[in-house]
Chains A and B, each alone.
Chain A
């Protein structure tokens, strides 16, 4: 890879945009700071001016009043074409050049910057690998790719010259829901590697919550209603507009922000094949989970033991009920809840990357969490309680 350029901060300073022939400003005295390496999502209803706000950064829309700084430099002091070559630009309609191959599309900005062909070609190959596109597609034309593949190429093209700032205008807006989800996840994974400063426009609050380190909610007339982390936004909407916009289900949306590992799990009484049922019964006394979980010698869940399973002298090999659903501790809480509801169970074992039990998630834990006003969801530190070591091992 080319040596990574450090991301740059983006700072709006009292930015106002008035279009010729319109009385009302499209953007009204907007000030906000985007820290280097963060994803800032600009979200709002259509006509709120969020796209204008984004486009003023690379001067495809000119600023009427105020200023935008990239690092310490005002965009107004820069030649627009040179400025734009330092910023990745991804748009909803993708805008790949139909007459250029996938690789040539990605080479666009490097070539504009005067890189020689070999270097640009090498860079394109790296990026195609990064976005996981089949090498056989490099010399295809864009209309031979699927929509999802095209948008991946669009992202790769924006990253080609390793820009310190990325501007993304509804980049996944035209993609079907399943592929959108996949592209969002891929981009988030990519971002952990590339750490760009990203300005991301969407009208979809769920996408904003998922993608944003910080979210700027923009009201009609281009006024900033709230600028906060997704968790703050969901817990403490600044006004009625924000509360309305994030929706009545904001408590549920908070679940989209956390992973199973972020919550205090219950400890399951564990049982091993051949263990005396008496020991198991003893563990069940006063346990948080009223059922014993049968695990193998690596502590991988095998199933829940029923009352009849415990009638025997020792723990049987085949328990009455399956352990499904088994959750991964890295699962998003919202998905975990969905799994629980779908399989109509109260409890689900949670496992680590090796499939070993780390605890039990219950519907009760989730409802308690949703009910507690002081729940601090932005703490992403993993809370891993060691599972009680079974006696007799």
Chain B
């Protein structure tokens, strides 16, 4: 067992962490080599399930986090005194260390997907909530005045004017939340979910493994980020001309 795995093992008793360095002897024998391509090709299928699990976990967590943060934001948009309350509450939750959070949930939800989803969703709240609130606050007052003056109800104003105009900032929040969730989700191996953290911590002293597991995680973050950026461009086409004009 590696020192790190040894240290973590008693923390999460049910997680199976054991060294398989023996299998990688030919690769590890080559001192200083960062990446063994042969090994990677032969063993890539062991990353497929963790990769898909992590992707699913991220998507579910961000989706739930968005729904909850959105509900808070819309509620506090009408009842503005709630904004500091929600900001402080989500801020406090954000400061809980992930492993401690998993332990806090152990007696309630035990180990598994449920715990992982709760932890990750809660972490997204702060960023998403703050961005929706900022987006709504930054809607030009004259657009609101005009909308109201033309006979929009509060609800029509929210859905037809305020939210569409806040969309770029809302998506900006989703991008940060998604990328950070991808990063934290590897830790959910300690909630016994087979994410890319599983192979990562299993062979933490095998460089090729670190490169593949870590690389896939980073790649996932980049791909999701670019997709959200494209969605923003697509959903907020009016932003483009002003950006062009600025350059």
Contacts and interface: CB of A to CB of B under 8 A. Distances in A.
A108 B150 contact: yes
Contact of B143 (A98, A109, A167): A98
Nearest to A83: B151
B146 A95 contact: yes
B215 interface: no
Interface in A324-366: none
Nearest to B238: A141
Nearest to B240: A141
Nearest to B166: A99
Given A97-B161, A98-B143, A143 B242 contact: yes
Contacts of A99: 161, 164-165, 167, 236, 238
Nearest to B164: A99
Contact of B151 (A84, A96, A143, A167): A84
Contacts of B140: 93, 95, 98
Nearest to A141: B238
A60 interface: yes
A141 B146 contact: no
Given A93-B142, A95-B142, A143-B238, A112 B149 contact: no
A108 B153 CA distance: 13
A39 interface: no
A201 B143 CA distance: 19
A81 B153 contact: yes
Given A81-B153, A98-B165, A141 B147 contact: no
Interface residues of A, number: 29
A112 B156 contact: yes
A109 B148 CA distance: 11
B142 A84 contact: no
A94 B142 CA distance: 7
Given A99-B165, A143-B242, A91 B149 contact: yes
B32 interface: no
A141 B241 contact: yes
Nearest to A111: B160
Nearest to B168: A99
Interface string B204-245: 000000000000000000000000000000001110011001
A59 B237 CA distance: 34
A144 interface: yes
B68 interface: no
A84 B148 contact: yes
A105 to B, nearest CB: 9
A89 interface: yes
Interface in B132-189: 140-143, 145-153, 156, 161, 164-165, 167
A85 interface: yes
A225 B143 CA distance: 33
Interface in A40-62: 58, 60
A89 B146 contact: yes
B41 to A, nearest CB: 48
Interface in B110-150: 140-143, 145-150
A96 B146 contact: yes
A82 interface: yes
Contacts of A58: 149
A89 B151 CA distance: 10
Nearest to A140: B241
Nearest to B235: A99
A326 B181 CA distance: 77
A95 B156 CA distance: 16
Contacts of B167: 99
Contacts of A158: 150
Interface string A136-175: 0000011110000000000001100000000100000000
Most buried by A among B141, B153, B236: B153
Contact of A144 (B141, B148, B156, B241): B241
A97 B147 contact: yes
B236 A84 contact: no
A85 B142 contact: no
A353 B143 CA distance: 44
A91 B150 contact: no
Nearest to B161: A97
Interface string A62-97: 000000000000000000111111100101011111
A97 B167 CA distance: 14
Most buried by B among A60, A84, A96, A98: A98
Interface in A163-191: 167
Contacts of B147: 95, 97, 108
Given A112-B156, A143-B238, A95 B151 contact: no
Nearest to A143: B242
A52 to B, nearest CB: 14
Nearest to A113: B151
Contacts of B237: 141
B67 to A, nearest CB: 23
A157 B148 CA distance: 14
Contacts of A94: 142, 146
B242 A97 contact: no
A97 B236 contact: no
Nearest to B149: A89
Given A81-B151, A99-B236, A91 B241 contact: no
B145 A82 contact: no
13 contacts: A81-B152, A86-B151, A89-B149, A95-B140, A97-B147, A98-B140, A98-B238, A99-B238, A108-B147, A109-B151, A112-B151, A143-B241, A144-B241
Given A112-B150, A143-B238, A144-B241, 15 more contacts: A84-B148, A85-B150, A85-B151, A91-B149, A95-B140, A96-B143, A96-B146, A97-B147, A97-B165, A99-B164, A99-B165, A99-B167, A112-B151, A143-B242, A167-B149
Nearest first, the 5 closest Cβ-Cβ pairs linking A and B are: A95-B146, A85-B151, A93-B142, A84-B151, A95-B142
